[in-house]
């Protein structure tokens, strides 16, 4: 066959979406619970149809059939997909090593490179690794998949060389995979901290518990802890769910070393992770013996700001309630301070702000003038963590500063910030993570990092960065919406002006409606508490798909944190 590009096959691959809806089969949801060496099917799974290779199919048709069968592989353990492979590849191919999620909105190119090789070029939306870590694709990202083929003993074409993992269309991926947060503990062991992974909806409980026991990813590992003793694993490599919705988590003997407090905490971690469809209760056993005490610990998760939105208006720090502005009585006059960028701790203390672009101060009280905390050139809008540390920057060494209200200053080195200009920082409400907007030779970036502290809670360093919001082409400000999502002010696609974007830590960036003159953002908890400030001093809140004006003559909106 001559080498030529073949286009217009989008309909063939998009048909996979139809298959997932049409090819459903029933699953048993009752019966005795037994031990086994494989994954256990959970109620509600969907099985798409898959068809084996037709007799006499040419190489390109074999590759197309393999992609369709591979997408259906979660329903048949990839049995049909392996029929398209040569004998050696049937055992060497590892489909669970990752997923490339591709868009069906752009061209998918098949090219017959040689008589025995077919190349597929896909527009990439995201990738998911073997452990469920989701990475959003950059604008225009593509993936080239090359397939080598040979004739088998019957003269039929079969695939002899291919990469591990599977290729899934975007709508198909989101129908069979779901986001599942794994919950770890703050170093003080009083809050839960999520790390979102993506697992097949079928057997999601098993995937999630395995990943939880394996621990957090490197970027988060040094910022959190877990109550599970080292070496804790599933005693049986599955988490079955009975007909009444009871999830059975059987742990190995390593967990027997956990003390009473740790057992209560690890139960809390499991209960939060297994907030999955069809699960009503979580039963924990150690090598088959019930771990009956103590009950799961009660831990705070995803805390909300304790007070309302702060703004600067008429030279005063004021609180917005509905559409009413009220001066904050505990803050004195801001006259002669050139106030900007207010921030406060979770309980309202410390209350800080910038005085001009180069000085960070404790806000004045009715009987006390402003107290200087840090004087540097070009300070960032501050962020106050739950332990009372005030973060700003940028430090000249490629780092940030953390300042306490008693005047203690810590220079927090961040190697990966060297050579970059930091635009915005914001600490998560659990105090373990920080979102950073910066720009460098590779353009703007939004990163999330773990905050590593000593035993007293003093910041020591920031960990490895996790790049998020890859679809954004510019970014200037970041805030936390909830424990899993950021709001970022910037542009994406062909936008000519900035607007707010919702940026999941592990998911797809979404632009909110544009608003001309947008200059600042603030977020309480959830999408019902999003605010956007404009250059004319107006403040808007999102209602449905529209920005509604709630105040005028205000600047620098900010929630606690």
For residue 522, what are the contacts with CB-CB under 8 A and spacing of at least 6? 309, 479, 530, 531, 533, 557, 558, 559
List of E strands, 414-561: 421-427, 433-440, 443-453, 459-468, 472-480, 485-492, 499-504, 510-511, 518-523, 530-534, 539-543, 546-551, 555-558
Within 13 Å of residue 173, how many CA atoms lie on the same side as its CB?
24
Question: Is the predicted pLDDT of residue 382 greater than 50, yes or no?
Answer: yes
**Residues 318-366: pLDDT tens digits?**
999 988 999 999 999 998 999 999 999 988 899 999 999 999 999 999 9
Question: Is the predicted pLDDT of residue 33 greater than 70, yes or no?
Answer: no
- Taking the alpha carbons of 550, 553, 554, 555 in that order, is the dihedral positive or negative? positive
| Residue pair 374/361 in contact by the 8 Å Cβ criterion | no
Domains of the chain: 5-176 (no CATH), 178-301 (no CATH), 309-558 (2.120.10.30)
**Residues 90-111: pLDDT tens digits?**
999 999 999 999 998 887 889 9
Q: Taking residues 209-220, what's their average pLDDT?
A: 98
Q: Which of 5-14, 60-69, 268-277 has the lowest mean pLDDT?
A: 5-14
Token pair listed for 524: 């309480």
Q: Taking residues 112-127, what's their average pLDDT?
A: 96
Nearest residue to 59 (alpha-carbon basis) of 120, 115, 15: 115
Peptide bond into 350 cis (omega under 30): yes
Question: What are the backbone angles phi and psi of residue 255, rounded to the nearest 5°?
Answer: -75, -15
Token pair listed for 424: 């915005």
The pLDDT of residue 48: 65
CA distance linking residue 97 with residue 84, whole number of Å: 19
The pLDDT of residue 346: 86
**Residues 366-375: pLDDT tens digits?**
989 999 999 9
**Residues 151-160: pLDDT tens digits?**
999 999 999 9
Q: Taking residues 73-102, what's their average pLDDT?
A: 95
How much of the chain, in percent, has pLDDT values that exceed 90?
Answer: 82
Higher pLDDT, 25 or 277: 277
Stated as kind and residue range, the H or E segment containing 286 is: strand 281-286
Q: Taking residues 370-382, what's their average pLDDT?
A: 94
CA distance linking residue 504 with residue 469, whole number of Å: 8
pLDDT band at 47; cut points 50, 70, 90: low
CA distance linking residue 337 with residue 36, whole number of Å: 69
Question: Is the predicted pLDDT of residue 15 greater than 50, yes or no?
Answer: no
Average model confidence (pLDDT) for the chain? 90
Question: Is the predicted pLDDT of residue 554 greater than 80, yes or no?
Answer: yes
**Residues 168-203: pLDDT tens digits?**
999 999 999 999 999 999 999 999 999 999 999 999
Question: Is the predicted pLDDT of residue 9 greater than 90, yes or no?
Answer: no
* Strand 399-403 versus strand 409-413 pairing type: antiparallel
CA angle at 466 for the pair 460 and 467, rounded to the nearest 5°: 135
| Residue pair 541/530 in contact by the 8 Å Cβ criterion | yes
Q: Which of 18-27, 55-64, 312-321 has the lowest mean pLDDT?
A: 18-27
| Residue pair 383/352 in contact by the 8 Å Cβ criterion | no
């Amino acid at each position: 066959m001559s080498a030529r590009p073949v286009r217009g096959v989008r309909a063939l691959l998009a048909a996979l979406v139809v298959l997932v809806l049409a090819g459903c089969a029933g699953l048993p949801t009752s019966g005795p619970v037994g031990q086994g060496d494989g994954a256990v099917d959970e109620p509600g799974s969907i099985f798409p149809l898959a068809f084996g290779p037709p007799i006499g199919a040419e190489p390109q048709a074999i590759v197309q059939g393999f992609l369709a069968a591979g997408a259906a592989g979660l329903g048949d353990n990839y049995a049909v997909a392996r029929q398209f492979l040569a004998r050696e590849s049937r055992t060497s191919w590892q489909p669970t090593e990752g997923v490339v999620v591709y868009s069906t909105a752009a061209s998918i190119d098949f090219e017959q490179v040689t008589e025995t090789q077919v190349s597929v070029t896909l527009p990439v939306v995201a990738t998911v690794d073997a452990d469920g870590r989701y990475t959003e694709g950059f604008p225009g990202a593509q993936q080239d998949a090359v397939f080598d083929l040979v004739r088998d003993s019957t003269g039929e074409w079969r695939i002899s060389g291919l990469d591990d993992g599977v290729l899934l269309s975007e709508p198909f991926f989101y129908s069979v995979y779901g986001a599942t947060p794994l919950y770890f503990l703050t170093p003080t062991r009083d809050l839960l901290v999520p790390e979102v992974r993506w697992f097949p909806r079928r057997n999601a409980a098993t995937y999630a518990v395995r990943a939880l026991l394996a621990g957090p990813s490197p970027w988060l590992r040094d910022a959190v802890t877990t109550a599970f003793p080292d070496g804790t694993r599933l005693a049986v490599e599955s988490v079955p769910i009975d007909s009444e919705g009871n999830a059975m988590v059987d742990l190995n003997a390593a967990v027997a070393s956990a003390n009473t407090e740790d057992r209560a905490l690890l139960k809390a971690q499991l209960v939060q992770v297994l907030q999955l469809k069809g699960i009503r209760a979580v039963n924990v056993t150690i090598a088959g013996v019930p771990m009956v005490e103590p009950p799961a610990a009660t831990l705070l998760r995803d805390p909300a700001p304790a007070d309302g939105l702060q703004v600067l208006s008429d030279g005063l720090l004021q609180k917005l309630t509905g559409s009413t502005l009220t001066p904050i009585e505990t803050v004195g006059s801001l006259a002669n301070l050139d106030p900007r960028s207010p921030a406060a701790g979770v309980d309202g203390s410390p209350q800080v702000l910038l005085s001009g672009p180069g000085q960070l101060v404790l806000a004045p009280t009715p009987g006390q003038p402003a107290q200087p905390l840090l004087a540097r050139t070009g300070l960032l809008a501050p962020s106050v963590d739950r332990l009372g540390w005030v973060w700003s920057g940028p430090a000249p060494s490629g780092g940030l500063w953390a300042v306490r209200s008693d005047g203690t200053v810590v220079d927090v080195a961040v190697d990966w910030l060297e050579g970059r200009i930091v635009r915005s920082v914001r600490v998560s409400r659990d105090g373990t993570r920080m979102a950073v907007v910066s720009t460098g030779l590779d353009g703007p970036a939004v990163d999330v990092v773990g905050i590593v502290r000593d035993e007293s809670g003093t910041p020591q360093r920031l960990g490895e960065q996790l790049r998020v919001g890859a679809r954004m082409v510019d970014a200037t400000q970041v805030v936390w919406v909830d424990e899993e999502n950021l709001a970022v002010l910037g542009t994406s696609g062909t936008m000519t002006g900035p607007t707010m974007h919702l940026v999941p830590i592990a998911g797809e960036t979404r632009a909110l409606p544009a608003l001309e003159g947008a200059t600042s953002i603030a977020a309480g908890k959830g999408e019902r508490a999003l605010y956007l400030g404009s250059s004319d001093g107006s403040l808007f809140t999102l209602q449905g798909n529209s920005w509604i004006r709630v105040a005028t003559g205000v600047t620098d909106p900010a929630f606690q944190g």
